């Protein structure tokens, strides 16, 4: 998760937190890992190539995939208490997972499209949490389809009001297991309903630290409709079954 977690500074390397001295290259990645650790390289290259087509992106310089043994290992070396994060504007991301379909999305989107507020930034990453290698092209969060999770959260009253999600700092105040799949479902709806071009147009003008009013005005300029009206439309679609 991009920019999640804070924690204290990194600790010194130890037997339980070895440095990432093992370097492996693939067609699209430079993988940095601890000795004996690994990434599913064939899957990762296939996902990268699929993602370029899905988001209509250009090939990038190799991405720096920093792979950690577990959350404690990542925290020890980076000071960040999270499962993963990307470094905005660089080719570097960090993760505990042997396959990545989230942090690398952030990396490519920020480099080539833009860095919008967290609702959209996390949304576009979660909207592409798919497994094209296995033919799974419906995005999922913890194994469940986004639309199902978003519908359940909305029906149960767990979905925060849109106004509480527009600033990045506010977005991260809520339960990630609610906001992330809902953001992913919303962005997936935007792409499928209004097309990728409008989303990319909005991203190109947006900033991660935009005020709520700025987000609303920039969304209106890109879509010709208010963000509130499209959000309400998405919520109605969640419950519709169509």
Model pTM score: 0.92
What is the reported pLDDT for 41?
98
Please say if the pLDDT value at position 175 is more than 80.
yes
Pick the residue with more confidence: 211 or 12? 211
Q: Phi and psi of 120, rounded to 5°?
A: -90, -35
Give the three-state DSSP class for 185.
helix
Distance CA 225, CA 235 (A): 16
Q: Once rounded to an integer, what is the mean pLDDT over residues 169-181?
A: 97
Which tokens is 79 given?
């000071």
- pLDDT at position 218 over 50: yes
Report the distance separating Cα 148 and Cα 212, nearest Å. Answer: 27
Q: Given pLDDT bands bounded at 50, 70 and 90, which one contains residue 11?
A: very low
What does the alpha-carbon distance between residue 74 and residue 28 come to, in Å, rounded to a whole number? 23
pLDDT band at 16 (very low <50, low <70, confident <90, very high): confident
Length of the chain: 242
- Report how far apart, in Å, the C-alpha atoms of 118 and of each of 4, 124, 138, 164, 215 are: 10, 10, 22, 12, 11
Q: Give the 3-state secondary structure of residue 137.
A: coil
Confidence of residue 103 (pLDDT cuts 50, 70, 90): very high
Residue 49, pLDDT > 80, answer yes
Is the model's pLDDT at 241 over the cut of 80? no
Instruction: Report pLDDT for 4.
Output: 36
Question: Which sign, positive or negative, has the C-alpha torsion 121, 100, 92, 105?
Answer: negative
Six-digit token string for 95: 């993760």
Is 138 within 8 Å of 118 (Cβ atoms)?
A: no
Strand order in the sheet with 29-33: 22-25, 29-33, 63-67, 92-95, 84-86
| Rg, Å, the chain Cα set | 18
């Amino acid at each position: 998760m991009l920019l999640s977690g804070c924690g204290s500074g990194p600790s010194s390397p130890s037997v339980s937190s070895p440095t990432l001295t093992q370097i492996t290259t693939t067609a699209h990645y430079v993988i940095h890992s601890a000795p004996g650790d690994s990434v599913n390289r064939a899957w990762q290259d296939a996902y990268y190539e699929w993602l370029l087509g899905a988001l209509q992106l250009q090939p990038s310089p190799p991405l720096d995939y920093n792979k950690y043994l577990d959350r404690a290992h990542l925290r020890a070396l980076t000071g960040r208490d999270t499962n993963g994060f990307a470094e905005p504007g660089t080719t570097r991301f960090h993760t505990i997972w042997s396959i990545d379909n989230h942090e690398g999305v952030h990396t490519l989107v920020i480099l080539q499209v833009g860095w919008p507020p967290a609702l959209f930034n996390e949304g576009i990453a979660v909207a592409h949490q798919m497994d094209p290698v296995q033919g799974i092209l419906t995005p999922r969060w913890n194994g469940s389809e986004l639309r199902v999770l978003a519908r359940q959260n909305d029906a149960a009253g767990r979905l925060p009001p849109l106004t509480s999600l527009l600033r990045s700092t506010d977005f991260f105040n809520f339960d990630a297991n609610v906001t992330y799949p809902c953001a992913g479902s919303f962005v997936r709806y935007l792409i499928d309903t209004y097309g990728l071009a409008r989303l990319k147009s909005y991203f190109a003008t947006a900033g991660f630290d935009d005020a709520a009013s700025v987000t609303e005005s920039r969304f209106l300029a890109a879509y010709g409709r208010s963000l509130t009206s499209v959000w309400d439309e998405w919520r109605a679609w969640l419950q519709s079954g169509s």
